[in-house]
Amino acid sequence: MDCSSLPTWIASKPSNSNKNVLFNQFNQNPFLQLPLSRTLSRCLSRFAPIQSSLRQLRERIQTVKNTQKITEAMKLVAAAKVRRAQEAVINGVGFPTAKEAQMVADDVFSLFITEEVDKVELIYTKFVSLVKSDPIIRTLLPLSVKGEVVDGNGNCVDAMEDELFRLTTKEGKLIVERDRVRVEGGGISPLMQFEQDPVQILDAMMPLYLNSQILRALQESLASELAARMNAMSNATDNAVELKKNLSIVYNRERQAKITSEILEIVAGAEALT
């Protein structure tokens, strides 16, 4: 008997007497057992790939579930960190430590002073929003009146906020002592006199300027990286949910087909005994 010729209808329920007769005939007649056993073996071999497929589908679904848990956790971690990084960019608080920025600033300043390099450029990723970041090339040294801030394509992107910067220390703020000066008389002279030479003042301010610019670049880059990581983990989580849904549909279809096949096998066995 071929499995393809199995009937798709269910036979009527036999009586108890018919059951006993069929059972005795089946046990006493070995020729009746042989075709049935071959039929069962052929049908079981036919449905063996379905069992393997179901097992593989269960394993894939479990793997996707585990991956979804990991990506969801990484998304939450990145979301928590990106908020801190965003606040650091806005408030100038040293999320990347100011000590690291100071080390880089000292190195590049020494190279420029000793004339080992004639130009210092800072390349980083500027944080715009949670879904956008721009590559920036900033010229730190030598200083120029116009300033040089360009994007990855070489276009000038100088902005008003780029002209202002915060001087920060490892505590996050620069402590400044302010003295009140009372002026008596006709007013302040229009001529300004520096207590020190302007070159000395510039030399003292240059390390602070470099430290602040490098620290801000580190903050921008870290915020951009965390935002990109959060978006990537969010997309990965959504893909895992969609994949798990599709695999569950395929698994249910395969399982339903297997159950239907087992029912047909039982019907075929009952037909072989009649």
In-domain check, residue 238: no
In-domain check, residue 141: yes
Report the candidate in 214, 243, 178, 225 with the shortest Cα–Cα distance to residue 105. Answer: 214
In-domain check, residue 266: no
Range of the domain at 151: 96-176+198-232
pLDDT at 1 over 60: no
Number of domains in the chain: 1
pTM beyond 0.85: no
Residue with tokens 């300033």: 147
In-domain check, residue 162: yes
**Side-chain-side CA neighbours of residue 224 (13 Å):** 16
pLDDT at 216 over 60: yes
In-domain check, residue 140: yes
- Tens of pLDDT, residue by residue over 182-199, are 656 555 666 666 677 777
- Tens of pLDDT, residue by residue over 24-75, are 444 444 433 434 444 444 444 444 444 447 788 888 888 888 888 888 888 8
Rounded Cα gap, residues 271 and 10, in angstroms? 9
In-domain check, residue 123: yes
Report helix, strand and coil shares of the chain as percent, to nearest 5.
Answer: 65, 10, 30
In-domain check, residue 11: no
In-domain check, residue 6: no
Residue with tokens 């069929």: 22
CATH number where 202 lies? 3.40.1380.10
